Amino acid sequence: MKSTRLPPELQAAWEEIETYAKEYGLDFFPIIYEVLDYRTLYETAALGGFPIRYPHWRFGMEYDQLMKGHIWLGSTIYEMVINTNPSYAYLLEGNEMVTQKMVMAHVAAHVDFFKNNMWFAHTNRKMLDEMANHAARVQRMIDRYGYETVEEFIDICLSLENLIDYHAPYIKRPEAQTHHSVLAEEDLPVVEGLPVERSYMRDYINPPEFIEQQRKRLERERARQKKFPENPQKDVLLFLMNYAPLERWQHSILEIVRDEAYYFAPQGMTKILNEGWACCRYDTLVFTDQGVLRIGDIVAQRQAVRVSDGETPQAVYDWAAFENYETIRVRTRRGLELEGSVNHRVMLPDGGWRRLDELQVGERVRIGGGQNLWAQQYVALDWSPVRHATLAQIADAAEVEVETVIRYQRSVRGVHATTPASLVAAYDAAIADHGPIIRRRVPIRVPEVVDERLAAFLGYLCGGGHISAVRHAIELMTADEDQARAFADLVRSLFGIEARWRRDGNRWRVSFYSRDAQDFLVHLGLKTGVAAREKRVPDVILRSPKPVVAAFLRALYDCDGCAGDAGVVLSTASEEMGRTVQVLLLNFGILASRCANTDGTWHIRATGRSAAVFFAEIGFGLARKQAALAHSIEDRRRFQREEWSDEIVAIERGRAHVYDISVHATHRYAAQGFINHNSYWHSEIMTKKALRDDELIDFADHHSGVVAVHPGRLNPYKLGLELLRNIEFRWNTGRFGKEYEECEDLAAKLSWDKQLGLGRQKLFEIRRLYNDVTFIDEFLTPEFVMEQKLFTFRYNRDTDMYEIASREFKEIKEKLLFRLTNFGQPFIYVEDGNYNNRGELYLRHRYEGVELKMDYARDTLRNIQRIWTRPVHLETVVDEKRRLISFDGRDFSERKMD
C-alpha cells in the first residue's frame, strides 16, 4: 500500500542527502516522496508517474509490459520523479538503504534540472492537477458518448501526438493562422475596367495592356489567398484543432493529447543531459573586485565578480536564492555577526568546516578579510538636480510682487478676495510640475564620480554632520577649527558653494543651504533629520577603490574617533555603521572589536598590530589625533600576536530569505568576517558525501547496472554522466579554446593542465542553457569518442547480424544528432490546407537522408484523414525520387513528382 510519510530512517537519509545537494549548489523545488509497493509503483509508472490519468487501454498495456519485465527479466524501476512544484518522487518499498539514498541523490539532481533548465521554463508546474482535470473531462465524455466512441478517437489522437512543434514554446514562427473558412468562397471578382459610355472610347479609357495587368494582379492575389496556411506549419495538431471539422468533445480530446505531449517534450529533449546532472542573509557583506557588496545584490544581479576566499581571489560562477529558510545567527566575542541557513558552513581555525546549526557557544571560528580585494574604478554618478520652482518665478508667472506670493504661502495658501486668481493658478501649477517651492535657487556643481574628496565629505557628514529636512541646511559640528576649515573647503571644491562657519559655544558650526545638494546627498543614501542611530556607510563608498574607502574612514574617525593607550576607537550611535566599519577594516588587515556601551553607543576598537596597520593604511586627518595614535604604537611591547580566529558567544534561530554564490577552485568566500563554504550529482553526492564504507559494494553494484551499456541501445545515464565528467575535467585543466585546439604536440595535449578550475562553473552553465542536441553538438569530441569506444552499427542482411559500421567521429556525431533531433522522428509540415482548391490537406516530409517507414506513413495518413474528413496528401522521398502519397478515406494512391 502507499505510504505518504517516510519511515524515520528514510527521512533521516533524505535530510542528509538534501543537505549535501544544497551544499553543492543544487536548487530544487520541494520534493515529496512516496514509498510504494512494486505493483502500485508500476501502476503509477504506466500512467507516466501520475496517480490519475484518463482511462485508456495503452496504460494497461504498459503496466503489463512493466510487470512482465519485472517478473521474468528482473528489471527494476530505481527512481521516478514528476516535474511539478512541489515535485513528487517515488521509492520502491523494500529496496536497500543504499539504493534509496542513490535514488534520492538522483532525484535531487533531476528536480534541480527541472527548475533551472531553460527548456523546462514553459512547462506547467501544476500538471498533477491538470492530469486529474483531464481524467475528469474524459470520463464525462465517456458517460455521454460511450466508452468505445471516445476510446477510438483517443487512439487516433495518440497516434499523432508526435506531430507537434517541440520548439514552439521558445521560438515564435511566422506561421499562418487564417481564421476564415477556405471552402465557402464568395463570388470571384472580374476585371472590367472603368465604365465607358461610348464604345469607340473603350480602348483609350481601358487600354488592353492595362486590363491584362489588372487581371494578372487579381490572379496573383487569388492564388495568395488560396495558399493556406501562408507558411508551412510544423504543429500539425494545432492546425487540426483550429481548422478540422471537429465536434466540441473531439476538440477537447485533441487539446488534452496535445497539452500532455508538450508537457513531456522537454524531458525527451534533455534526457541525456538530465540523467547526467547553503546560503547567507541578503545583507551579508562580501569582499569582491567590484567593492564590498551585499550577497543578495550579487545573486539578484547575477554578478560574475571575483571574491576573496580568505587567501586569493576566485571567480563566482553560479548564484542561488531560497525563500523563507530557517536560519542561525552567530555572534563572536569581537562582535562579528553572520546569519545563514542552518546548513551553511563556516571555516574553523584548523581549516575544517562546521554547519551553523552544529556550532556551539565557546567554539572558535576562523576570521577572514578580503586580503585587500577592492574595486579598481571610481563609482560614476549619474544625477542631475530636480527643477524646483522659485518664489520669483511664480511671481513673474502671476504678474505679482514676490511679497504677495510669500503672504499667500504663509497663510497656508488661504484664498482671500484680494488674492489674484493668476497667483493661485501659477502656484498650483508650479507644485504639480516641480514639487516643493523654494525661495531662491543656488546653482551647484554636481560631482561626476565618488573620489577621495567626495568620500571625505561623506565621512564628515556620517560622523559629525547633520542634514535638516526643515531648514534644508547641511551642517557639521566640530571642536577642531582645522576640521571646520577642511569641511568648508570640500563644500567649495565639490559644489561651488561657500559654506558659513562660526563659533557655537566651544564648537564650530559649518553650514550651507542648498536644496539641490540635499537631494544629491539623499540620492547617495544619507538620512535627513534626527538620524544619528540610522546612519550607515553609503553604498557608493562600499563599491569604491581602497583610497576612496580610506578617505571616508579617515574623515569619519576625525569626527567620531580617538587614539590613545587603548588603541584607536570609533564611537557611533548607529549599530549598522559600526558593524559595516568593522567589516571594512578587515579588508585593510585590521582586526577590530565591536561592543555596545551603556550610553547606547557602539565602540569599534583596534589595538596593537591592528592599530599600527590603521596608522599606516588609513590614519587620522587631524594632526593631533594622528600624533596620539603614533605615540600609542611607539611602544611595540604592547603588540601581541593577533589570532585571526574568534570565539562564538551567542547563537540565535530565525527565518529569512537566504542567498548563495558558487566559487570555483576553493569553493569558499570571505563575507561578514567569516570564511564561508559555497554550496553531478547522484554519484558525486554519494561517493563523496553520503556513502558509508559498508555501503560501497552495494552502491557499486547498483550504479554499474544503471550506467551499463547494452547492445543496440543508447544508455542516457552512461553517456550523460561520462560526458559531464569529461567536460568538468576539460574546463578544470583548460583543455578547450583556440590555443588547445591548435596545439599539434600530442604529448603536450596529453599533459595539458592550465589549472583553471572552471569545471563546476561550466556544469552549472550547461544545466541552465542546453538540451541534448546542443549538448552533444558542442561538447562531444573525438577524444571522448575514442575513450568511450563509441561506434555506429548497421544490420547486415547477408549474415543476419548487426556489425560495426564506422568508428569515425563525424559519422558517430551525425548519428547521435540525427537520433536526438526531433527524437529521431521525421519532420512533417502542413503545406496547404486547401490543396487543389478543394479543402484537401497537403503535408510535406522534410527529407534528411532517411526514408519514411511506409506502413507507419500510411497509418498516420489514415488517422489524419479521419480528423480532417477530406483527402490527405503527403509529399516525401522514395528511392531518391519525390513521391506524393494520398488517402481519400477509402484507398491509397501514389504518384511520382519528379
Q: Is residue 712 part of a domain?
A: no
Least confident of 410-414, 554-558, 860-864: 410-414
- Tell me which of 589, 607, 638 is where a domain ends: 638
677 touches 348 (CB < 8 A): no
- Around Cβ 284, how many Cβ atoms within 10 Å? 25
Whether 177 has a pLDDT exceeding 50, the answer reads no
Alpha-carbon distance of 387 to 400, in angstroms, equals: 22
- Residue 483: pLDDT band with limits 50, 70, 90: very high
Question: Does 310 reside within a domain?
Answer: yes
Note the pLDDT tens digit of each residue in 601-647. Answer: 999 999 988 999 999 999 999 999 999 999 888 866 556 678 899 99
Specify which of 41-55, 161-175, 389-403 reaches the highest per-range mean pLDDT: 41-55
Q: What is the pLDDT of residue 616?
A: 94
Q: Could you read off the pLDDT of 495-523 as tens digits, one per residue? A: 999 999 889 888 999 999 888 888 899 99
pLDDT for the residue 317:
65
What is the residue range of 405's domain?
391-434
CA dihedral 493, 497, 498, 502 (to 10 degrees): -100
pLDDT higher than threshold 50 for residue 84: yes
Residues 445-466: tens digit of each pLDDT: 889 999 999 999 999 999 999 9
Q: Residue 365: is its pLDDT beyond 60?
A: yes
Range with the lowest mean pLDDT among 636-645, 676-685, 884-893? 676-685
494 located within any domain: yes
Give the pLDDT band (50/70/90) at residue 720. Answer: low
pLDDT score, position 1: 34
Phi, psi of 591 (to 5 degrees): -95, 105
- Residue 508 near residue 622 (C-beta atoms within 8 A): no
Whether residue 843 is predicted with pLDDT greater than 50 in this model: the reply is: yes
Do residues 460 and 580 both lie within one domain? yes
Query: Which residues, in sequence order, are bridge partners of residue 306?
Result: 315
What mean pLDDT comes out for the span 672-681? 71
Residue appearing with cell numbers 568593522: 582
625 and 523 in one domain? yes
pLDDT at 272 over 60: no
Residue 854 lies in a domain: yes
Residue 382: per-residue pLDDT: 87
Helices (H), 465-531: 481-495, 515-523
Do residues 571 and 542 touch, judged by C-beta distance below 8 A? no
User: What 3-state DSSP class applies to 812?
Assistant: helix
Asked if residue 292 lies in contact with residue 285, where contact means CB atoms within 8 angstroms, the answer is yes
**665, 625: one domain:** no
* pLDDT score for 715: 53
More confident call, 122 vs 697: 122
Query: Residue 75: which of 714, 654, 708 has the closest Cα?
Result: 708
Q: What are phi and psi of 663, to 5 degrees?
A: -120, 130
Q: Which of 563, 569, 633, 565 is nearest to 601 (CA)?
A: 569
The last residue of a domain, from among 638, 670, 688: 638
Please state the φ and ψ torsions of residue 15, each to the nearest 5 degrees: -60, -40
The pLDDT tens digits of the residues spanning 748-777 come to 888 888 888 787 677 767 766 766 667 777
Distance in angstroms (rounded) separating the CA atoms of residues 442 and 385: 11
| Cα(90)–Cα(86) distance, integer angstroms | 13
* Count of domains for the chain: 5
Average pLDDT over residues 160-171: 69
Can you tell me the distance from the alpha carbon of 163 to that of 254, in angstroms, rounded to the nearest whole number? Answer: 12
What pLDDT digit, counting tens, does each position of 9-30 carry?
888 888 887 887 777 666 788 8
Domain boundary pick from 406, 434, 462: 434
Q: Is residue 711 part of a domain?
A: no
Quick one: 624 and 650 in the same domain? no
Question: Do both 395 and 355 map to the same domain?
Answer: no
- Residue bearing the bigger pLDDT, 252 or 767: 252
| Strand bridging mode 500-504 / 561-564 | unpaired
User: What is the total residue count of the chain?
Assistant: 898
C-alpha span between 36 and 48 (Å, rounded): 15
How far is Cα 250 from Cα 245, in angstroms, rounded to an integer?
A: 10
Provide the grid cell at 308.
Answer: 576573496
Identify the pLDDT of residue 213.
Answer: 77
What are residue 339's phi and psi, to 5 degrees?
A: -125, 130
What cell numbers appear for 231 in the block? 507558411
- CA separation for the pair 406, 423 (Å, rounded): 11
Q: Is a pLDDT exceeding 50 seen at residue 682? A: no
pLDDT (0 to 100) of residue 838? 84
Residue 508 backbone phi and psi in degrees, to 5: -105, 135
- Please give the full DSSP string across 254-319, using - where no structure is assigned: HHHHHHHHHHHHHHHHTHHHHHT---EETT-EEEEBTEEEEHHHHHHTT---EEE-SSSEEEEEEE
- Kindly state whether residues 563 and 648 are assigned to the same domain: no
Residues 654 and 602 in one domain: no
Closest CA to 520 of 444, 456, 430: 444
Instruction: Give a yes or no: residue 319 inside a domain.
Output: yes
Residue 153 banded pLDDT, cuts 50, 70, 90: very high
C-alpha cell at 897: 513528382
Neighbours of 136 (CB within 10 A): 11
**Sorting pLDDT into bands at 50, 70 and 90, what band is 565?**
confident
Average pLDDT on 785-813 reads 71
Going by pLDDT thresholds of 50, 70 and 90, the confidence category of residue 337 is: very high
Q: Is 470 helix (H, G, I), strand (E, B) or coil?
A: coil
Residue 626 has what pLDDT?
A: 93
- Grid coordinates belonging to 42: 508500476
pTM for the model: 0.49
- The top-scoring range by mean pLDDT among 222-236, 609-623, 732-746 is 609-623
Q: Assess whether pLDDT exceeds 90 at residue 661.
A: no
Residue 353 and residue 426 in one domain: no
> Worst-scoring range by mean pLDDT, 139-148, 343-352, 662-671?
662-671
Q: Which of 538-547, 726-735, 803-812 has the highest mean pLDDT?
A: 538-547
Mean pLDDT of 284-289: 93
Q: Are 745 and 850 in contact (CB under 8 A)?
A: no
Query: Residue 181 — pLDDT band, cuts 50, 70, 90?
Result: very low
| H-run or E-run covering 572 | strand 567-572
For residues 593 and 665, membership in a common domain is answered with: no
User: What confidence score (pLDDT) does residue 182 get?
Assistant: 39
Q: Is 296 in the same domain as 340?
A: yes
Indicate whether 650 and 615 sit together in one domain.
no
CA distance 35 to 91: 5
Query: CA nearest 869: which of 836, 839, 837?
Result: 839
Grid cell listed for 483:
576640521
Q: Mean of the pLDDT values across residues 842-870?
A: 85
Q: Give yes or no for residue 98 having a pLDDT over 60.
A: yes
- Computed over every residue of the chain, the mean pLDDT equals 78
* Best mean pLDDT range from 200-204, 745-749, 864-868: 864-868
Does residue 596 carry a pLDDT above 80? yes
Q: Average the pLDDT over 166-195 and give the result.
A: 51
Residues 474 and 521 in one domain: yes
Contacts 24+ apart (CB under 8 A), 766-770: 766/273, 766/724, 766/727, 767/112, 767/113, 767/116, 767/117, 767/273, 767/277, 768/116, 768/117, 768/118, 769/117, 769/118, 770/117, 770/270, 770/273
* Ramachandran region, residue 167 (left: φ > 0; alpha: ψ -120 to 50; beta: rest): alpha
pLDDT at 748: 85
- Sequence-distant (≥ 6) Cβ neighbours of residue 373 within 8 angstroms: 287, 288, 289, 306, 307, 308, 313, 587
Amino acid at 213: Q
The pLDDT of residue 381: 94
Structural domain includes residue 429: yes
**Domain assignment of residue 689, yes or no:** no
Measured CA distances, 205 to 56, 192, 209 (Å) = 71, 12, 11
872-878/840-846 β-pairing: parallel
Output DSSP code: residue 499: P
CATH code of residue 633: 3.10.28.10
